[in-house]
């Protein structure tokens, strides 16, 4: 049955490839999304579809996007040029079988693995489940892997094939020294390392062997200590074991001639203390980056048939959880550690959310199984449209992510009730595309059960009537450095007690509000980019002169511990 079904899909792809040469990118991606993906979902279960996708890419039968990336998407990471910041996450091509075919989808970087030292079959089937209504997947593969030796054979086979085509006038060393390990200009190849199920939980040997055996084939290496499907693996995210592992991994990496950047992949299911420990360890060990995040073990508001299956959840429900983890990690490290954002990304706006939150690169996986290979081109096209003339590299370097501060009640972070991500820039379009986006403010120490009462009684009926002056479409600038963040303004979500349906609380702890619940804020709102938030504090006693004080942002060095005003004399005349 599987063979005959493969033949049907294969013939359909061949006919489609002849058709697609005469049509534009949008038409090609839509036909994949609307025709071929539903067809494969009808004929195959989730794991069989996964195998088919690898087989097609391996034999160069998948669609190709060979157009040159716009320079707006070009960037430089680890002193290497990258044509675009969209990558394929680990788990899709576990054994390095289809690297070239996957690069042809249009990715800037492809990450293979996780690869374990010894071959292992993984967990019993069924172990992968589509959650169609949620655009998600639950998997409990359990690091099924061919092992280091066979994956190395696959990688070496690519190198030999590349050399046969490119060493007519040059030696092998001359060719290999002038190209990335991906063997493609402007592209990077990552190798994600895992641990055998039978290895002692406290042992780091599997990862160190992986660096020695496979590191010379990689543009970057990833230490995966966050899969929920290998017993005891996530315990390596604790401070002491993680510091030991990363220090030893750095020493082992430094012995390789190519010294590839070393990253660590972490889980989204971390409390603030655990995340702070991880941030400190990553900075202390001086690894080159972090991937945020792996799959989650949480299950919130899922609708699909297989929602109760055990394993890691990926796809759309992971988006907010992963995004919040990126924001927190960026703040904890002051933007000094390169972040690869991963989790629930399915369009260009999702990718930009991660970039604005502090991610230099982003990865996709689950959405590829729903939208097909055209997803990559769609994301890049949407990003280009949103960026205009601004470059991706400028976006994450500028501190574009915003923080929202209410000067009246001195609240300035999401821990105290401010949903930083949901500032409504370009409000009309944001409302149209995502009615639940909003900013809302609550006071310190407010519990979720009191938020409705707080919003209604104290904010909507507030005597504080100070408002930002609005034009039809004013510019939203950083209050400190005056960097242009966007156009539109700031609105807040309100709750109507007369409605029969009450708002739901999302996994990030914030209300999802209908578009009917928007109104102008009745308090003074400061919009500040994260780079300035890291360097400045607001002094309410500065500015204005005389008895009138408008407040000014001052460098943090001018503030003593636990004081809310700066060290300047505030003499009222």
- Positions marked active-site: 227
- 3-state SS of 167-184? CCCCCHHHHHCCCCCCCC
Cα distances (angstroms) measured from residue 481 to each of 57, 137, 398, 421, 529:
47, 43, 11, 20, 8
CB contact at 8 A, 488 and 425: yes
CB contact at 8 A, 141 and 127: yes
CB contact at 8 A, 366 and 137: yes
CB contact at 8 A, 349 and 382: yes
Q: Which of 126, 118, 94, 99 is nearest to 110 (CA)?
A: 99
Cβ–Cβ contacts within 10 Å for residue 136, how many?
Answer: 25
CB contact at 8 A, 377 and 410: no
Task: Give the Cα separation of 345 and 291 in Å (integer).
Answer: 14
Look up residue 447 and give its two tokens.
Answer: 């519990």
Following DSSP, what letter does each residue of 319-351 receive, concatenated? HHHHHHHHHHHHHHTTT-S-EEEESS--SHHHH
Alpha helical stretches, state H, 315-440: 319-332, 348-357, 366-371, 374-387, 392-397, 427-433
Look up residue 318 and give its two tokens.
Answer: 């992971």
Q: Which of 113, 61, 51 is nearest to 88 (CA)?
A: 113
């Amino acid at each position: 049955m599987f063979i005959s079904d493969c033949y049907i899909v294969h013939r359909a792809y061949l006919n489609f490839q002849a058709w697609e040469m005469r049509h534009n990118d949008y038409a090609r991606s839509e036909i994949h999304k609307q025709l071929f993906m539903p067809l494969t979902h009808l004929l195959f279960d989730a794991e069989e579809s996964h195998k088919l996708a690898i087989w097609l890419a391996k034999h160069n039968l998948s669609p190709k996007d060979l157009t040159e990336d716009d320079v707006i998407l070009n960037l430089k990471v680890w002193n290497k040029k990258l044509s675009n910041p969209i990558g394929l996450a680990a788990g899709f091509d576990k054994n390095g079988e289809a690297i070239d075919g996957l690069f042809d989808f249009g990715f800037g970087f492809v990450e293979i693995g996780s690869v374990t030292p010894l071959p292992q079959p993984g967990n019993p089937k069924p172990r992968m489940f589509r959650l169609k209504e949620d655009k998600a997947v639950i998997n409990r593969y359990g690091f099924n892997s061919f092992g280091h030796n066979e994956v190395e054979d696959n990688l070496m086979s690519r190198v030999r094939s590349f050399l046969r085509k490119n060493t007519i006038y040059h030696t092998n060393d001359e060719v290999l020294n002038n190209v990335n390990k991906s063997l493609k200009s402007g592209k990077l190849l990552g190798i994600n390392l895992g641990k055998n199920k039978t290895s002692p939980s406290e042992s780091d040997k599997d990862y160190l062997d992986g660096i020695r055996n496979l590191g010379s084939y990689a543009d970057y290496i990833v230490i995966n200590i966050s899969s929920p499907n290998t017993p005891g693996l996530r315990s390596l995210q604790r401070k002491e074991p993680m510091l030991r592992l990363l220090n030893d991994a750095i020493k082992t990496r430094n012995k390789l001639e190519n010294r590839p950047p070393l990253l660590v992949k972490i889980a989204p299911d971390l409390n603030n203390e655990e995340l702070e420990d991880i941030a400190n360890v990553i900075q202390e060990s001086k690894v080159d980056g972090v991937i945020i995040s792996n799959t989650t073990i949480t299950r919130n508001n899922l609708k699909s048939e297989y929602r109760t299956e055990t394993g890691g959840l990926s796809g759309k429900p992971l988006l907010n959880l992963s995004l919040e983890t990126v924001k927190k990690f960026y703040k904890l490290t002051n933007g000094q550690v390169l972040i690869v954002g991963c989790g629930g990304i399915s369009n260009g706006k999702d990718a930009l959310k991660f970039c604005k939150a502090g991610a230099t690169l982003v990865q996709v996986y689950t959405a590829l199984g729903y939208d097909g290979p055209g997803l990559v081109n769609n994301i890049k096209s949407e990003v280009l449209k949103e960026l205009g003339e601004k470059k991706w590299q400028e976006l994450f370097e500028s501190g574009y992510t915003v923080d929202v501060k209410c000067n009246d009640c001195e609240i300035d972070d999401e821990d105290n009730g401010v949903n930083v991500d949901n500032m409504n820039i370009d409000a009309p379009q944001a409302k149209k595309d995502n009615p639940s986006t909003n900013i809302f403010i609550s006071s310190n120490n407010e519990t979720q059960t009191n938020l409705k009462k707080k919003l209604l009684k104290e904010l909507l009926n507030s005597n504080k009537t100070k408002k930002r002056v609005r034009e039809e479409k004013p510019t939203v600038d950083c209050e400190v450095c005056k960097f242009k963040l966007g156009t539109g303004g700031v609105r807040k979500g309100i709750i109507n007690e007369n409605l029969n349906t009450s708002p739901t609380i999302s996994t990030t702890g914030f209300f999802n509000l209908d578009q009917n619940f928007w109104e102008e804020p009745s308090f003074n709102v400061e919009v500040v980019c994260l780079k300035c938030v890291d360097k400045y504090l607001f002094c309410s006693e500065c500015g204005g002169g005389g008895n009138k004080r408008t407040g000014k942002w001052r460098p943090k060095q001018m503030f003593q511990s636990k004081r809310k005003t700066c060290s300047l004399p505030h003499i009222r005349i």
